[in-house]
A and B are shown apart, each in its own frame.
Chain A
């Protein structure tokens, strides 16, 4: 994730659906519009649902990086309030 500078990081690999999205949502609510959050998540349900849920909440998904250990980093820009 070298090419996008992020403002905040949240790890949701320690929780399961539906808390995954709740944790990510709380993290992004802490930010100002335009700031960028990195969400570290597991394969499976989180990667299927969290990117779309972020978009439905009005944020902008920029990129999803696949890590060597099978986890993902989702880069999201906070939308307007």
Chain B
């Protein structure tokens, strides 16, 4: 029997050391799985695997020990349970996310919603090499935005409201970058120091802040053989349309300039960071 390993890999089947066995990677967006999906996964691992799953480092699920002959049956069983296979190889991988502002008190943006939008637009898109997106809700960075080829971090831009302020001093005390200070009854916000964490507004007992959520984007992160922290090359983005314009431009840049087997960071370095920055700045300013 001829096995098309490339096609299987594209469909999330990772060849194992054990003959005729595959570890089946599933599509999971932002680490979110329903109970029904988990039941289907459990049933498949019991029936076709060895009764366990592997949780991957990027919030995915793999079912090891799926036999070559069972692949079609397994796909059908998973499909009926609302699960889709994931992908491997040179393309856009699982989009990861923390729970974001819908769940987490620290969250500044709806990470899960955004991860789904990114996934719908880019998941499995063929590119010169693997390409990872990660969305984290705030400065706490539980999702490690900068280790992704494109990382998105939620931020909050704040404006102080004199009329509501009771001058209790909570914001000044909790600001980690010392961006907040008082001169008499006036609050001084040092914009150079503010890192958009939003803690001042979240802790304020008087709601004396006007908040605008935003996205802080980092480009070219690597966390494998080589480690490079993704770089923030643009100001905070408030408009989702602008965010997607920037992401589209970055992905297009990689598609057009990347060599096969070359990670995004390496493409940026080889072609010149100035050139890349110019492209995304043009996208940012429209």
What is A's interface to B at a CB cutoff of 8 Å? Answer: 43, 47-49, 51-52, 54-55, 60-66, 72
Contacts and interface: CB of A to CB of B under 8 A. Distances in A.
| 9 nearest A-B residue pairs (beta carbon) | A55-B205, A61-B205, A64-B169, A51-B205, A51-B170, A64-B170, A64-B168, A61-B168, A48-B203
Given A48-B203, A52-B203, A55-B206, A61 B173 contact: no
B168 A63 contact: yes
Nearest to B207: A55
Nearest to A56: B205
- B interface: dominant SS: loop
Contacts of B168: 51, 61-64
Contact of A64 (B173, B199, B202): B173
Give the most central of A43, A51, A62: most B CB within 10 Å: A51
A61 B203 contact: no
A52 B204 contact: yes
A72 B170 CA distance: 10
A52 B173 CA distance: 14
A3 to B, nearest CB: 12
A65 B170 CA distance: 9
A47 B205 CA distance: 11
26 contacts: A43-B173, A47-B174, A47-B203, A48-B174, A48-B202, A48-B203, A49-B105, A49-B203, A51-B168, A51-B170, A51-B203, A51-B205, A52-B170, A52-B203, A52-B204, A55-B205, A55-B206, A60-B205, A61-B170, A61-B205, A62-B166, A63-B168, A63-B169, A64-B170, A64-B173, A65-B169
Contacts of B204: 52
A48 B105 CA distance: 11
A60 to B, nearest CB: 8
Contacts of A55: 205-206
Contacts of B105: 49
A72 B171 CA distance: 13
